[in-house]
Amino acid sequence: MYMDIAKDLLHFIDKSPSPFHVSNSMKTALIYNGFIELREEDSWKIEKGNNYVVTRGGTALIAFSVPNENAKSFHITVAHCDSPTFKVKENPEIKDKYYTRLNVESYGGMNMQSWMDRPLSVAGRVLVSHNGYVVPKLVNIEKTILTIPSLAIHMNRNLNQGQALKVQNDMLPLYGLSNSKKSFMDLVAETAKVNKNQILSHDLFLYCRVPGIIWGSEDEFISAPKLDDLQCAFATFRGFTTGKKEKHISVYTLYDNEEVGSTTAQGAGSTFLYNVLTRIANSLGLSYDESMAMTARSFMISADNGHAIHPSRMDVADPINRPELNKGIIIKYNAQQRYCTTGFSSAIFKNLCMENNIPTQIFTNNSNIAGGATLGNISNTQVAIPSVDIGLPQIAMHSAYETAGVKDTDYLVKAISAFFE
């Protein structure tokens, strides 16, 4: 079973070259399975026994199911659809006497060295003019058109002693020779099936085209681009769709822009989740007091990958709490409240997993190394709900190509399916 889930994850990642594609594929699947699409700009009429989906900004997505019986609380999961990458700037081409490169800027805190000498392409969306309207169109150039060439060690003998990489100097991807006949925007327009003059603007990102694989002496590893956080986004989505969703109002939340701080209209720091929960309660006829009580009785699982013990640098991990690949879901703790886990919320999640025979592990940072924040505590600034920060263990986080355990995705699918009881 876990191997089938792992293969499904790789297929999902392969079809998700940008956050726009992640959200669109999920929305399409939900609508195909009977979910009703809502728009934030319309009035809502929510009815018991129905399922709904709403998106914001083309990337953030919330799906929810209202049971036939009166629900007393929300059960919520959150994950994010973005990963560290490079964003293509407006007026993207830089030409010199020899080459054509793309003008890009970094998105998120990445391991830039890992992006060098990889087959790369571009995906995202373009905004086009059509009959007087601005219309978004998804774009995925499904061929290798770029690479970021490293400097040969012969020209920098200190290369392996480490170097400071600068995006504008070192990381601009090579697109073609200086006399290339087809410009980058010509190729984008051709892919989008529009005239180049129709393109008003774009949100385009680089992605790594190295295929995801299952590997190891016993097929115990899975490697792919963007495991952080598409592994959790996929697993929580699969758990949401397979759960019974009969006892609570079940809410699946997919945020964008976690890698750049979440303080956007599509991020965990936005009012998106608060607005949706409020509109659900209002449409079901609950008073303000009743909706606040319902929120207080609710529970949220924030799912974002975490660090497994590294084979070469075990010294940077906590000396006791050292998550291993294929040993289960990690529960994240941090005294500085970078994670939202409390003793109460961790106990609730541990109990859920114990009842369903799902292994869990503990993650804490080495006390000398500051860790990153994630979705739960940021989302709680808008909607204060008892919450736990969890994830799946991986190595090489924020590399262009990451590695995790082949079994762990299935553990999270089962936990979330049980959560959405």
Break the chain into its structural domains and give their ranges: 1-83+225-420, 85-208
User: Across residues 345-366, what is the average pLDDT?
Assistant: 96
User: Across residues 316-329, what is the average pLDDT?
Assistant: 94
Cis peptide before 229 (omega within 30 of 0): yes
Whether 18 has a pLDDT exceeding 90, the answer reads yes
Q: What is the pLDDT of residue 337?
A: 84
Q: What is the pLDDT of residue 33?
A: 96
Whether 371 has a pLDDT exceeding 80, the answer reads no
Q: Is 85-208 in the same CATH topology as 1-83+225-420?
A: no
Q: What is the pLDDT of residue 79?
A: 97
- The percentage of the chain sitting over the pLDDT mark of 90, rounded to a whole number, equals 88
User: Across residues 3-11, what is the average pLDDT?
Assistant: 97
pLDDT tens by residue, 100-138: 999 999 999 999 999 999 999 999 999 999 998 999 999
Strands 51-56 and 36-38: parallel
Closest Cα partner for 183 from 88, 77, 111, 251?
88
pLDDT tens by residue, 131-175: 989 999 999 999 999 999 998 888 888 888 878 899 999 999 999
Q: What is the rounded CA–CA span in Å between residue 63 and residue 26?
A: 9
Residue whose structure tokens are 């303000």: 288
User: Across residues 75-94, what is the average pLDDT?
Assistant: 97
User: Across residues 50-70, what is the average pLDDT?
Assistant: 96
Q: What is the rounded CA–CA span in Å between residue 126 and residue 93?
A: 16
User: Across residues 53-57, what is the average pLDDT?
Assistant: 97
Q: What is the pLDDT of residue 103?
A: 98
CATH superfamily of 85-208: Aminopeptidase i, Domain 2 (2.30.250.10)
Q: What is the pLDDT of residue 335?
A: 87
Alpha helices (H) in 176-329, listed in sequence order: 184-192, 227-242, 272-283, 288-296
Fold of the domain spanning 1-83+225-420: Aminopeptidase (3.40.630)
User: Across residues 209-231, what is the average pLDDT?
Assistant: 97
- The percentage of the chain sitting over the pLDDT mark of 70, rounded to a whole number, equals 100
When mean pLDDT is compared across 124-138, 296-310, 368-382, the lowest value belongs to 368-382
Q: What is the rounded CA–CA span in Å between residue 76 and residue 298?
A: 8
Q: What is the pLDDT of residue 367?
A: 87
